[in-house]
Amino acid sequence: MCSYLASFPAALTHAFIARYSRPGDVVLDPFSGRGTAPLQACAEGRIGVGNDLNPFAHLLTAAKVAPATRPEARTRLAALRLAWAAGAPGWLALAEKTAADAADRRTLVPRAGSEAPPGSGDEEVPPEVLLSFHRRTFAQLLFVRTVLRLDTRVDRFLAAALTGILHGKSATYLSEVMPNTFSMAPRYVREYVARTGFQSPERDVFDCLELKLNRLYRQHPPTTPGLALLGDARDAGQRAREALRGRGLPDRVRLVIGSPPYLRVVKYGYYNWLRAWLLGLDPRAIDAALDDAHHREPYLAFMRDVLVGLRPALAEDAIVVLVIGDVELDRGRRIRTGVGLAEQVWAAAAEPEGYRLAGIAIDDVAAHRKMTKLWGDEAGRATKTDRILVLGSGEAGRRRAINGAGLPIDWSWPQRGLRAV
């Protein structure tokens, strides 16, 4: 649906879901990111629950575990086309005026989700947004971001799909100013446009979105219900249990699988600033809330709080799988305490809280497969090794994890369509 930094592959999620859960079990990812784990759980007949403090990640997760049906999405898209046709002159005029006044940002546009007309704006547009899109495409984006309501299931799904085609290097994307993996820095956009004279080709938002939806619906969405939660991982267990109980679903989690934030590697707001603009989010506020710039001791304290917070929701034989990347570099500087993090999390966070160690698997990650290959000197070496920490919530969970470790896996899962979602 949309690329997302530091996400793990669906095949890895499938392996643990297949070994450590059964159909009908609850699978929780307290750091859900783009929603890979809860989506995979739902696709395999489990109840997938994803939690994230990043509102962009929450949007992607919610769109996957509670998707719009194809008829719903097509109907809403048709309604958007008609509404655009009726109001296009006003939005086109606003786009032109915004571009003309870009230097001093005198022209204001309506806030995302406000459903306000084009003449009643109160929000500035960053000049780099204007540089990224053809003027007509920009006008359509102004309209769409204003009328989509992210608190509704169908609009949320369309918005999530739209973030996936916002920028990239082909005709299926709305802008070609940067790759689709993440947003290049605003300064890069300014300098690139000034140096090359780049002008984004005109792309019709509705046509591109229709093509994106067609790709997404090649595979039928999972029929098993899932939940998306917005909030801190440290109290995700209790909130998940309350939400499940409120839906009349089993409220005990049998498998936790997640990838905690890496030490000082990813700024999710900064690297998604253009998508954040589309959604009406403040990238600086996202990064401030996530506070990913942890050194070792605060990181270990955070992980201990997370494991404490999971306890209220865990079944007696629950298994917790944490994919923890060793971190060697932070913006070119070596991090001495970033290696062996999984072992440190076990000793300082999990063992003191009564978890039982089932094992630590080492999954070497080829540098050319990591999205961080685009980050200059770090060239895929920001996280050299992913270590997989497997815990039991108690002795029953540890035994179940050890007994299930050798179970054969059907590697025809995930189905091809799900691999790309």
Three-state secondary-structure class, residue 191: helix
Order across the sheet with 383-392: list the strands. 227-230, 47-52, 26-29, 253-258, 314-327, 383-392, 356-364
Cα–Cα distance for residue pair 51/49, rounded to 1 Å: 7
Q: What is the secondary structure of 324-342 as a DSSP string?
A: EEEE-EETTEE-GGGSSHH
Please identify, among 186, 216, 246, the residue that sits at the C-terminal boundary of a domain.
216
pLDDT at 385 exceeding the cut of 70: no
Looking at residues 17-41, what average pLDDT do you find?
96
Please identify, among 168, 196, 216, the residue that sits at the C-terminal boundary of a domain.
216
Q: List all residues 6 or more positions away from 109 whose beta carbon is below 8 Å from its beta carbon.
A: 94, 98, 118, 121, 123, 124, 125, 142, 146
Q: List all residues 6 or more positions away from 374 whose beta carbon is below 8 Å from its beta carbon.
A: 179, 181, 182
Same domain (yes/no): 297, 330: yes
Q: How far is CA 181 from CA 1, 184, 304, in A?
A: 12, 9, 32
- Whose tokens are 């899109």? That residue is 133
Cα–Cα distance for residue pair 317/395, rounded to 1 Å: 8
Indicate the pairing of strand 329-330 with strand 314-327. unpaired
pLDDT at 136 exceeding the cut of 90: yes
Same domain (yes/no): 55, 85: no
Same domain (yes/no): 57, 80: no
Same domain (yes/no): 170, 50: no
Q: List all residues 6 or more positions away from 210 whose beta carbon is below 8 Å from its beta carbon.
A: 77
Whole-number CA gyration radius for the chain? 22
Same domain (yes/no): 154, 41: no
Residue 389 belongs to what domain range? 10-67+221-419
Cα–Cα distance for residue pair 49/221, rounded to 1 Å: 16
Q: What is the secondary structure of 387-414 as a DSSP string?
A: EEEEEESSHHHHHHHHHHTT----TTPS
263, part of any domain: yes
Cα–Cα distance for residue pair 53/60, rounded to 1 Å: 12
Report the candidate in 421, 379, 376 with the shortest Cα–Cα distance to residue 184. Answer: 376
**Domain total in the chain:** 2
Report the candidate in 220, 225, 219 with the shortest Cα–Cα distance to residue 244. Answer: 225
Position with higher pLDDT, 380 vs 150: 150
- What integer pLDDT is reported at residue 368 of this predicted model? 32
18, part of any domain: yes
Q: What is the CATH number of the domain that holds 293?
A: 3.40.50.150
Please identify, among 157, 183, 216, the residue that sits at the C-terminal boundary of a domain.
216
Same domain (yes/no): 112, 199: yes
211, part of any domain: yes
Same domain (yes/no): 246, 364: yes
- Count CB atoms within 10 A of the CB of residue 353: 16
Cα–Cα distance for residue pair 97/95, rounded to 1 Å: 6
Q: How far is CA 339 from CA 296, 334, 346, 382, in A?
A: 10, 10, 14, 11
77, part of any domain: yes
Residue at 338: amino acid letter: G
The answer to whether residues 368 and 312 touch, using CB atoms and an 8 Å cutoff, is no
Q: To the nearest whole percent, how much of the chain has pLDDT over 70?
A: 87
- Whose tokens are 């409220």? That residue is 251
Same domain (yes/no): 191, 235: no
- What integer pLDDT is reported at residue 147 of this predicted model? 99
Three-state secondary-structure class, residue 102: coil
The answer to whether residues 109 and 121 touch, using CB atoms and an 8 Å cutoff, is yes
Running DSSP on this structure, what letter comes out for residue 385? E
Residue at 159: amino acid letter: A
1, part of any domain: no
147, part of any domain: yes
Q: Could you list the beta-strand ranges (E) of 161-300.
A: 227-230, 253-258
Same domain (yes/no): 268, 169: no
- What integer pLDDT is reported at residue 214 of this predicted model? 97
Indicate the pairing of strand 47-52 with strand 227-230. parallel
3, part of any domain: no
Query: Quick one: CA dihedral 389, 382, 338, 313, positive or negative?
Result: negative
Residue at 38: amino acid letter: P
pLDDT for 169-223, tens place per residue?
Answer: 999 999 999 888 888 888 989 999 999 999 999 999 999 999 999 999 998 888 8
Looking at residues 307-318, what average pLDDT do you find?
97
pLDDT for 221-240, tens place per residue?
Answer: 888 989 999 999 999 999 99
Same domain (yes/no): 265, 397: yes
Same domain (yes/no): 313, 413: yes
Mean of the per-residue pLDDT values of the chain: 88
Same domain (yes/no): 196, 234: no
- E strand or H helix that includes residue 79: helix 70-100
Residue at 370: amino acid letter: K
- Whose tokens are 């032109």? That residue is 96
pLDDT for 313-369, tens place per residue?
Answer: 999 999 999 998 765 544 444 445 446 889 999 999 999 999 999 999 876 433 333
5, part of any domain: no
Query: Quick one: CA dihedral 279, 257, 231, 342, positive or negative?
Result: negative
Three-state secondary-structure class, residue 29: strand
